[in-house]
């Protein structure tokens, strides 16, 4: 669970990093706005994108930053707290005065009490407060936290952040802006609007007369997709954390992100859930730890845990490959098994390090190809590599073909990038690779020096290639090339290019083996995507639908088993009632329904119908029907209707 904290921290770092860039802008604005004409309120509009849930963090770090660097006076307003201008002012006053207390912390408590309980909040009292505060700070602690920007000023500005501008009532916003613009002389106010949709919303919400009072500067935050790639970069594509996501799981998380909410926070939540699930459900997850602790943990494994290891499918595959003596040893002696396990896990760690580096190299190659056969983002490439052996896919094939047609300058820069990546990685095996790549580079340079006449040819062919970017033509040229290769002698450059691509290919084949081909991958990889989807992206309606239509799915009783869409007459009451109501239109006659219901139920209970008197039986069925109907009402399938006596209205359609 230590890791979880780490992750959270990481997110915070990330967001604060992002918002720091904002706040630098912010700093500039404050500087810039202080010279503005005083009739206009300097305003910053932050366009943050649709991932509303992430805004909270961004704003929090923004206000923290502002508080530390520019001004202690920050008020943070949310639409749900401010249904009217009065509430808004109240909230504003409360926050400002509280934070003032926080900063100075030498005020007596009485003052707070008074300010909080004061109901009459007006701009003038705010100004009075501000004057008193600034005077005090000027006299008492003139060398307070001041950034360079506020040295021009006698007093720091008051920043008011509107977190979700779209949901504020128009009138409240207008009133507030008009009122505060009257007092801008006395009170240096800066507004920040958080905007989720588009900057146009300001003009839609505020009439011209109001928006002319604002001096708006627009800031665009990074898109949430960029956030996601940073997070994936820092969390997944790093050997730092031993815990890994399986291909399917990652796919699920990314799908939820892309198709449902664009929320980085939810992505993180899903990731956390994966960690929890993994450590909860996998008994061997104790071994999922940093390399440093590994030995200790492996040594402390109990016999049962060793048995668990032996039961892992990947380990069994591994055992089967060994010679018989070793097989016996692995399956019987715990100590030997432990040693072996440790070795394997270390191998796995090394594999990760190599994997990430080579993946990045491959990404360098594939991300610049036309049409992106292997995806633009590294996460797509990562998914592809996790799913199956990437070199067997068609996409990989075509991207290699395309890579064989790259021009020289691109190829050289790519190789240089690869060298950098490999050098920066911690893997030890790459010395050789780097040397090889460097050799290629020098060869390219030599080529340039020695062959002028050949270059002309290649340049012309390159030009041709650059012109044709669409796939059809590309394929055609590929075919032509194939033919010409047989007939024409290859130039030196082309030879070299093939060599490079083949080398990269060999790297990929060596290092990008999918994780589930590795022994003991179960310990580090979380792979049950179904659980994850069930918990994060549940489908309550489908569950209800299944339960009502096909009770056998839940209740394993032979009597309920039936083929196709019909259900047997022995099904639970609610299922029968539901099934019957599906046949009705907008309104359902209760009497008809009851009759149909009792027909079905009676038939279902025919064998013991004689035991009870028919009258009593009737009553019981009536009662059961009432229960079923009121349950359906609770579930929202029907509602009482006043259109006709003893009718209910149906609320759902289809389904049968």
Partner 1 sequence: MSRIEASSGGRRRVLQVKFVSDDEVLKHIVDDTGNKVRKDKPQPSINLKRFVKKLQNISDDEAQEILEEKNYIATLGICAQDPVGNGTSVSGGEVYSFQTPKRSSKMAELASELAHTPEQRVTPDHSKGLEKRAKTPQSSSKPMFLFLMHVFALQSKKKEFVSTTPYRLRKRLAAPDSCLESESEYSASCSEEEDEEDQQEVSTVLSGQKTPAKTKAAPTHLPRNSLAKKNKEEKMSNLVEEYFEAHSSSKVLTSDRTLQKLQKRRLNQETLRELLKKAPIAYAAEIKELNQQHESLFSKWMLQLHLGFNIVLYGLGSKRDLLEKFRTSLLQDSVHLVVNGYFPSITVRSILNSITEEVLDHIGTFRSPLDQLEFITKRFKEDSSLELYVLIHNLDSQMLRGERSQQILAQLSSLPTVYLIASIDHINAPLMWDQAKLSLYNWLWYETTTFSPYVEETSYENSLLVQQSGSLALSSLTHVLYSLTPNARGIFRLLAQYQLEKKDNPSYPGLSFQDFYQQCREAFLVNSDLTLRAQLTEFRDHKLIRTKRGADGVEYLLIPVDDSTLTNFLENQDEDV
Stretch that binds partner 1, among 234-242, 368-376, 499-507, 623-631 (CB under 8 A): 623-631
5: contact with partner 1 by CB under 8 A: no
369: contact with partner 1 by CB under 8 A: no
User: Would you call 17 exposed, middle or buried from its count of C-beta atoms within 10 A (0-12, 13-18, 19+)?
Assistant: exposed
Q: From the list 485, 586, 609, 614, which residue makes contact with partner 1 (rule: CB under 8 A)?
A: 586
Closest distance to partner 1 from the beta carbon of 2 (Å): 13
Q: Is 231 within 8 Å of 268 (Cβ atoms)?
A: yes
Subset of residues 95 to 134 that bind partner 1, contact rule: CB under 8 A: none
Q: Is 552 within 8 Å of 269 (Cβ atoms)?
A: no
Separation between Cα atoms, residue 602 and residue 608, nearest integer Å:
10
166 or 334: CB nearest partner 1: 166
The backbone torsions φ and ψ at residue 45, rounded to the nearest 5 degrees and listed phi first, read -105, 115
Q: Is 468 within 8 Å of 474 (Cβ atoms)?
A: yes
CA distances from 466 to 369, 371, 405, 489 (A): 11, 13, 10, 22
Separation between Cα atoms, residue 27 and residue 472, nearest integer Å:
52
Subset of residues 244 to 283 that bind partner 1, contact rule: CB under 8 A: 261, 263, 265-266, 269, 272-273, 276, 280
The backbone torsions φ and ψ at residue 137, rounded to the nearest 5 degrees and listed phi first, read -65, -35
207: contact with partner 1 by CB under 8 A: no
Closest distance to partner 1 from the beta carbon of 163 (Å): 10
599: contact with partner 1 by CB under 8 A: yes
Closest distance to partner 1 from the beta carbon of 465 (Å): 40
Separation between Cα atoms, residue 159 and residue 30, nearest integer Å:
10
Q: Of 301, 362, 312, nearest to 504 (Cα)?
A: 362
Q: From the list 52, 403, 418, 501, which residue makes contact with partner 1 (rule: CB under 8 A)?
A: 52
Total site size for partner 1, rule CB under 8 A: 107
Closest distance to partner 1 from the beta carbon of 86 (Å): 12
625: contact with partner 1 by CB under 8 A: yes
272 or 416: CB nearest partner 1: 272
Q: Is 258 within 8 Å of 224 (Cβ atoms)?
A: no
Subset of residues 315 to 354 that bind partner 1, contact rule: CB under 8 A: none
Subset of residues 630 to 649 that bind partner 1, contact rule: CB under 8 A: 630-631, 633-637, 640, 643-648
Closest distance to partner 1 from the beta carbon of 312 (Å): 21
545: contact with partner 1 by CB under 8 A: yes
Closest distance to partner 1 from the beta carbon of 117 (Å): 11
Q: Is 399 within 8 Å of 373 (Cβ atoms)?
A: yes
Subset of residues 525 to 544 that bind partner 1, contact rule: CB under 8 A: 529-530, 533-544
Site string for partner 1, 55-94 (x = CB under 8 A): -------------------------xx-------------
374 or 574: CB nearest partner 1: 574
489 or 556: CB nearest partner 1: 556
Closest distance to partner 1 from the beta carbon of 7 (Å): 12
3-state secondary structure of 357: helix
214 or 252: CB nearest partner 1: 252
**Helix extents (H) in 70-185:** 85-104, 109-117, 123-140, 170-182
Cβ partners under 8 Å of residue 376, min gap 6:
367
Q: Is 526 within 8 Å of 244 (Cβ atoms)?
A: yes
Beta-strand pair 158-162/74-77: parallel
Q: Of 457, 239, 261, nearest to 353 (Cα)?
A: 239
Separation between Cα atoms, residue 215 and residue 177, nearest integer Å:
12
Q: From the list 114, 328, 603, 609, which residue makes contact with partner 1 (rule: CB under 8 A)?
A: 603
565: contact with partner 1 by CB under 8 A: yes
């Amino acid at each position: 669970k230590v890791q979880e904290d780490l992750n959270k921290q990481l997110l915070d770092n990330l967001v604060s990093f992002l918002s720091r860039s904002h706040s630098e802008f912010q700093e500039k604005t404050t500087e810039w706005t202080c010279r503005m004409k005083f009739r206009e309120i300097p305003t910053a509009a932050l366009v943050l994108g649709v991932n509303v849930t992430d805004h909270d963090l961004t704003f929090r770090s923004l206000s923290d930053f502002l508080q530390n660097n520019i001004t202690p006076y920050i008020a943070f307003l949310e639409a749900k707290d401010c249904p009217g201008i009065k509430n808004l002012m109240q909230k504003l006053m409360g926050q400002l005065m509280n934070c003032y207390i926080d900063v100075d912390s030498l005020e007596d408590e009485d003052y707070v009490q008074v300010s909080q309980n004061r109901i009459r909040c007006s701009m003038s009292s705010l100004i009075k407060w501000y004057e008193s505060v600034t005077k005090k700070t000027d006299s008492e602690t003139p060398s307070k936290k001041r950034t360079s920007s506020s040295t021009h000023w006698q007093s720091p500005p008051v920043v008011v952040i509107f977190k979700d501008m779209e949901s504020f009532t128009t009138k409240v916003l207008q009133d507030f802006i008009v009122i505060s613009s009257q007092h801008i002389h006395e009170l240096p106010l800066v507004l920040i609007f958080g905007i989720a949709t588009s900057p146009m919303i300001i003009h839609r919400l505020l009439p011209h007369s109001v928006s002319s009072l604002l001096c708006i500067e627009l800031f665009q935050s990074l898109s949430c997709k960029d956030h996601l790639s940073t997070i994936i970069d820092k969390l997944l594509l790093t050997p730092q954390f031993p815990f890994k996501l399986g291909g399917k799981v990652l796919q699920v998380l990314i799908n939820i992100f892309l198709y449902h909410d664009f929320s980085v926070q939810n992505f993180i939540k899903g990731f956390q859930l994966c960690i929890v699930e993994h450590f909860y459900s996998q008994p061997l997850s104790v071994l999922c730890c940093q390399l440093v602790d590994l030995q200790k943990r492996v040594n402390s494994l109990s016999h049962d845990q060793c048995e668990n290891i032996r039961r892992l499918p990947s380990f069994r595959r591994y055992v089967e490959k060994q010679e018989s003596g070793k097989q016996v040893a692995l399956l019987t002696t715990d100590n030997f098994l432990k040693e072996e396990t440790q070795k394997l896990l270390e191998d796995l760690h090394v594999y990760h390090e190599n994997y990430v580096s080579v993946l990045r190299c491959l990404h360098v190659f594939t991300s610049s190809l036309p049409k992106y056969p292997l995806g633009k983002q590294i996460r797509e490439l990562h998914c592809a590599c996790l799913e199956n052996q990437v070199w067997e896919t068609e996409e990989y094939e075509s991207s290699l073909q395309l890579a064989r047609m790259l021009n020289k300058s691109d190829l050289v820069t790519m190789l240089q990038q690869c060298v950098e990546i490999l050098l920066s990685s911690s893997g030890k095996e790459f010395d050789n690779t780097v040397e090889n790549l460097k050799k290629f580079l020098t060869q390219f340079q030599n080529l340039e020096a020695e062959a002028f006449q050949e270059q002309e040819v290649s340049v012309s062919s390159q030009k041709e290639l650059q012109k044709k970017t669409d796939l059809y033509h590309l394929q055609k040229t590929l075919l032509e090339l194939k033919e010409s290769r047989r007939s024409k002698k290859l130039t030196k450059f082309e030879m070299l290019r093939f060599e490079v691509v083949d080398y990269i290919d060999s790297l990929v084949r060596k290092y990008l083996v999918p994780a589930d081909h590795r022994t003991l991958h179960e310990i580090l990889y979380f792979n049950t995507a179904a659980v994850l989807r069930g918990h994060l992206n549940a489908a309550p309606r489908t569950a209800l639908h299944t339960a009502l239509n096909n009770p056998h799915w839940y209740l394993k009783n032979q009597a309920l088993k039936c083929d196709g869409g019909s259900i047997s007459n022995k099904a639970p009451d609610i299922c029968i009632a539901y099934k019957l109501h599906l046949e009705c239109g907008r309104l359902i006659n209760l009497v008809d329904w009851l009759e149909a219901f009792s027909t079905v139920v009676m038939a279902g209970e025919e064998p013991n119908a004689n035991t009870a008197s028919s009258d009593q039986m009737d009553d019981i069925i009536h009662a059961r029907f009432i229960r079923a109907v009121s349950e359906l009402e609770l579930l929202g399938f029907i509602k009482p209707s006043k259109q006709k006596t003893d009718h209910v209205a149906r609320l759902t359609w289809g389904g049968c």
